[in-house]
Amino acid sequence: MGKSALKDHSIDEDTDIILRTENITKLFPGTVALDQVNYNIYRGKINVLVGENGAGKSTLMKILVGNEKCTKGKVILEGKEINLSSPQDAMNYGISIIYQELDLCPNMSIAENIFLGSEIVNRGVIDKKKQHELAQKLLQRLEQKIDPNTLVSELRVGAQQIVTIVKALSQDARILVMDEPTSALSTSEVETLFRVIYELKEHGITVIYISHKLDEVLQIGDYITVLRDGRLVAEDAVKNINMQWVITKMIGRRLDRLFVSKKHKIGKVLLNVEDLTLPRVGGGYIVNHVSFKLNEGEILGIYGLKGAGRSELLECLIGSNVLATGKIWLEGREINGNILDRIQSGLALVPEDRQRDGLVLTMSVANNIILASLKKLLNHFGLFIESKKETKAVNNLIKELSIKVSDPSSIVDSLSGGNQQKVVVAKGLLTDPKVLMLDEPTRGIDVGAKHEVFEIMQKLATKGYGIIFVSSELKEILAMSDRVLVMSKGVITGKYTKDTATEAQLVNASVDENSIKNGVKHK
């Protein structure tokens, strides 16, 4: 149920709602993505939608633009229930979306992109002149001076985004959804985008604006809605609230119980990395001469923004990138060679994108768990896999990590995100590693599962595993790590211990590549 959370807002009864959802519920295999959401969108306003990763924002938007069908519930436009079974339907109702990944054809011109799929034709032939004129008019409406004949590939990301907005306008969009529109933009481009958004508002267009950047949201929004774990937890006018309110609503009261902290003994040096370097194609470095040490029983947090080179650093360690150079010692023995050798020497990686890199979705839970350790399960002659050993290993791990699955032979795709993540961790553990590298292990899983992942990390650290924990969530990093490294543009820009690290320090180090500390001199 919607609970009483909605009662505390002070929106006038007669405020004009253009679009609303009624008890929208969406199930995905293993998870409830949206749970009876009643979402209001106000006419001609900028409606911002916030929530943590996996809160259900994208799913809700996909339903509104006809990309995904809801399991239950209604979408009501101007007081009438509408049926959205395809993006075309939504477009016909005037609802358009601008995705994080821009869906433009880079090999075609601005005008061609704007009219792609709805070309203006004259006796079956595309009327280029008219398209050009119209495109120019639309661009002018948003005060943009770009030639519609320019190829999209020649535009900067910000300008490309404006082209997508123009494309939506050309299709008579009345409601425009923007999903993280500023994630790839520079500061000046953000300003331009905001001007365009205000322009849209002036023309009476309703905007739904999704973002992680809370300052942005408070600056541009008229109304704010907060989702948490698939539920709508709060809605209010932006003028009535502040940053603290947003954070509290987003994270909820469970924060204090989320993290697991236990004393564990930190032993001798386990992993020693020196001068690890990964050149970028076209000059510069993705990982720039990185050196660090990891001890037994230590959780080493690596913090940084997207694109700081953290995942690539782990890829270099596991050996999946052949261009990497540098030296790695595990328990004093130098490690090189291919991925298989490194896994056998005691490194294990739980990749960031579990569906793309961590799991074979067509295979069963059991087969995924044993995938990296088949050799250990062979019979005496070393010829074939012994099913007894297999069952035992799989069941042990399922129990140890409390993976919720009724039958290990069920397809891994049917599990919830959190349990899928645990399967990837199980696969790593079965290889009997000494160092476990976890890349954003809590991304897209619910709070309960996050807690369990943290518990597992603590348990492993207590057992003497060395753990490298990459995350972009400040609170996680600070609560879980014994030591924190901060990366920015491939360089380690800060090193802190648990006692000295603060949120402000980490954030500063993550954005400032010039404040190189601790003797990393290369640029």
Partner 1 sequence: MEGSSTTQKKKVHSMTKIDLFQLLLRGRVFLALVVVTVVFALLSPGFLRVANIIIISKHVAINALLGIGMTFVILSGGIDLSVGSIVGLSAMIAGGLIKEGIQLSIFGVIVFPHIWMVIILTLIVGILMGAINGLVITRFKVAPFIATLGMLYVARGLAGLRNNGYTFSNLIGKPEYGNTGFEQLGAGNFLGIDYSIWIMIIFALVAYFVTMRLPFGRHVYAIGGNRRTAELSGVQVNRCETIVYMISGLCAAMVGLIIASQLVAAHPATGTGFELTAIAAVVLGGTSLMGGRGSIFGTVIGAFVIGVLVDGLVVLGFSTFLQNIIKGTVIVAAVVVDQAQLRMQEKIRLQKQELSL
To partner 1, the closest distance from the beta carbon of 386 in angstroms equals 9
Which of 71, 248 has the CB closer to partner 1?
A: 71
Which of 162, 372 has the CB closer to partner 1?
A: 372
Round to the nearest angstrom and report the end-to-end CA distance of the chain.
55
To partner 1, the closest distance from the beta carbon of 338 in angstroms equals 8
To partner 1, the closest distance from the beta carbon of 310 in angstroms equals 16
* Inter-residue contact 265 to 466 (CB < 8 Å): no
Q: What does the CA dihedral 373, 376, 378, 384 come to, rounded to 10 degrees?
A: 20
* Inter-residue contact 284 to 271 (CB < 8 Å): no
Angle at 163 between CA 160 and CA 166, to 5 degrees: 160
* DSSP annotation of 357: I
To partner 1, the closest distance from the beta carbon of 414 in angstroms equals 5
To partner 1, the closest distance from the beta carbon of 344 in angstroms equals 8
Task: Quote the CA–CA distance of 315 and 324 in Å, as a whole number.
Answer: 9
Task: Quote the CA–CA distance of 27 and 230 in Å, as a whole number.
Answer: 10
Residues that bind partner 1 (CB under 8 A): 27-30, 32, 71, 318, 320, 338-340, 343-344, 349, 351, 356-363, 367, 370-372, 374-375, 378, 383-385, 414, 427, 431
List the structure tokens of 236: 């209010």
Find the DSSP H helices in 203-242.
214-220
To partner 1, the closest distance from the beta carbon of 330 in angstroms equals 15
Which of 286, 423 has the CB closer to partner 1?
A: 423
- Number of helices (H), then strands (E), belonging to the chain: the values are 17, 23
Which of 144, 368 has the CB closer to partner 1?
A: 368
To partner 1, the closest distance from the beta carbon of 419 in angstroms equals 13
Could you tell me which residues are beta bridge partners of residue 438? 350, 469
Whole-Å CA distances, 191 to 149, 181, 197, 230, 387: 25, 12, 10, 31, 61
Secondary structure (DSSP) of 308-356? SSHHHHHHHHHT--TT-EEEEEETTEE--S-HHHHHHHTEEEE-S-III
* DSSP annotation of 494: E
Closest CA to 273 of 335, 193, 199: 335
Three state DSSP letters for 107-144: CCEHHHHHCCCCCCEECCEECHHHHHHHHHHHHHHCCC
To partner 1, the closest distance from the beta carbon of 324 in angstroms equals 15
- How many beta carbons lie within 10 A of that of residue 7, not counting itself? 7
Long-range contacts, stretch 328-337, CB < 8 angstroms, 24+ apart: 328/271, 328/272, 328/273, 328/274, 328/276, 329/271, 329/272, 329/274, 330/270, 330/271, 330/272, 330/434, 330/435, 331/270, 331/434
Angle at 261 between CA 342 and CA 443, to 5 degrees: 55
To partner 1, the closest distance from the beta carbon of 375 in angstroms equals 6
Task: Quote the CA–CA distance of 5 and 233 in Å, as a whole number.
Answer: 6
Which of 357, 455 has the CB closer to partner 1?
A: 357
The distance from CA 328 to its chain's CA centroid, rounded to whole angstroms, is 30
To partner 1, the closest distance from the beta carbon of 34 in angstroms equals 13
Buried b (16+ CB within 10 A) or exposed e, 191-203: ebbbebbeebbee
Amino acid at 11: I
